[in-house]
Homo-oligomer: A and B are copies of this chain.
């Protein structure tokens, strides 16, 4: 009779709440095996923790035979009695009288517990093993918590989730960095963002919408902060007075996300990520990009007036703000019209600058947003000024002829939030199976 896996108890529950003397079933992966003659100590690991199984020949010869031959990372289920043990992890161990090998493991191609001995590239090739390292698994859980907390905030604040197409008929933002698809007999593209569609959600009368989904960028970047496929946390809202309203929302979302992650995972984060953020943000300073130019110039790292901020300038600005404002987050506002997309609303009194913003976290852009231009005539002009053909945006432009409220929104990069929150060195660590120009498999 195989063990009933339905009766299986998670290890953390057993260590914290199991009744000494009672019988339990545990299951998981074999972490280590030590054989001492008629006695085998097996440390088994499930997603909640590790505990020691003691398998004695004189209790079950069969279990003992299995146990002493166990290769690390094999999958087992065991039934036995919970006893106290000063020597064991967590002060408790399971005295086993039934042990079932559910799946045997071959010798491992990488050392799960010594990630530094293996390149990140190789670890990603063997991601299903790499993620058995509790540190790496924690990153995945935190990514999930970021999404959960963001959605919780959106739903509680009246944002409606939408599901926009990822297969699109035209390159949404006019850029060249899109992936092409063969869509039956027609050319098509992968959506770089839900930008135009989330605006549709607002204009269609949903008023406040959000989406957390994949976005695709065919950028041939080989950096530690770019992915060709990432998870975008998008929001868009109508009936705003100004882009300040959008920043208020982004600030509230980010605060809720960071607070939720810390309140749920503070101790684990402390254990595995010495460079992680430890406190939720206070009020986030907002400085115009022109103020940023001045700060950077004063710090001896000038940026050309009217230019976008390079990643180097962003990093530097993050340091300055950390020092001057004591904040690891900063909104940089009013980016030059020259470096923002056609749908950005320009400042009414200074049309070279826009009602837009980026949010930097520890010197890296994690979000971008602003107020969108909702006046049809202005929008057509802005398309032309950007060298785009309004005819290619017919369906989009039509939305502004039949009642489009003033609106704005933002997109937040989920993996970047995770990376900056934990202080990871490479964004690839923040994604289960990253894609970059070289990496398509697994």
Also in contact, A147 and B161, with CB within 8 A (given A137-B205, A197-B433) = yes
Beyond A75-B404, A132-B205, A167-B228, list 11 extra A-B contacts (CB 8 Å). Answer: A8-B239, A47-B205, A103-B374, A106-B401, A126-B398, A130-B204, A137-B206, A140-B162, A141-B206, A144-B160, A183-B228
Question: Does residue A181 face the partner (Cβ distance < 8 Å to B)?
Answer: yes
CB within 8 A of A148: which of B155, B201, B399?
A: B155
Report yes or no: B8 in contact with A184, Cβ–Cβ below 8 A. no
Q: Is A435 an interface residue (CB 8 A)?
A: yes
Q: Is A166 an interface residue (CB 8 A)?
A: yes
Mark contacts of A391-409 with chain B using CB atoms, 8 A cut-off: 1 yes-contact digit, 0 otherwise: 0000110111111111000
- B433 adjacent to A402 (CB under 8 Å): no
A160: nearest chain-B partner, CB-CB: B144
* A200 in contact with B105 given A220-B184, A240-B5 (CB within 8 Å): no
Given A167-B440, A440-B186, verify A200-B435 contact (CB < 8 Å): no
Of the candidates B47, B188, B405, which one forms a contact with A27 in the assembled complex, judged by CB atoms under 8 Å apart? B405
- For A108, A207, A440, the residue with the greatest tally of chain B CB atoms inside 10 Å of its CB is A440
Do residues A140 and B206 form an inter-chain contact, with CB atoms below 8 A? yes
Q: How far is the CA of A207 from the CA of B140 in the complex (A)?
A: 12
Determine if A231 is an interface residue (Cβ-Cβ < 8 Å): yes
Query: How far is it, in angstroms, between the C-alpha of A161 and the C-alpha of B149 when the chains are bound?
Result: 12
A190 to B183, CA, bound (A): 11
Residues of B within 8 A of A285 (CB): none
Main secondary structure on A side of the interface with B: mixed
A432 B216 Cβ-Cβ under 8 A? no
A77 to chain B, nearest CB (A): 8
A312 contacts chain B at the CB level, 8 A cutoff: no
Query: For chain A residues 139-172, which have a beta carbon within 8 Å of chain B?
Result: 140-141, 143-144, 147-148, 151, 155, 160-170
**Smallest CB-CB separation from A441: which chain B residue?**
B169
Chain A contacts with B in 189-209, Cβ cutoff 8 A: 190, 197, 200-201, 203-207
| Contact residues of A between 400 and 440, Cβ < 8 Å to B | 400-406, 414, 431-433, 435, 437, 440
Instruction: Please state if A179 and B182 are interface contacts (CB–CB under 8 Å).
Output: yes
Partner of A162, one of B201, B402, B432: B432
Complex Cα spacing A151 to B437, Å: 32
Q: Are A131 and B205 in contact (CB under 8 A)?
A: yes
Q: Are B203 and A128 in contact (CB under 8 A)?
A: yes
Instruction: Evaluate contact between B205 and A29: CB separation under 8 angstroms.
Output: yes
B residues less than 8 Å from A190 (CB atoms): 167, 181, 190
A206 near B131 with CB under 8 A, answer yes
Question: Is A129 an interface residue when CB atoms closer than 8 A count as contact?
Answer: yes
Report the separation of the CA atoms of residues A6 and B402 in the bound assembly, to the nearest whole angstrom.
23
- Interchain CA distance A163-B145 in the complex, whole Å: 12
Query: B239 and A200: CB pair below 8 A?
Result: no
Q: How far is the CB of A76 from chain B (nearest CB, A)?
A: 9
**With A73-B403, A405-B27 given, is the CB distance from A229 to B151 under 8 Å?**
no
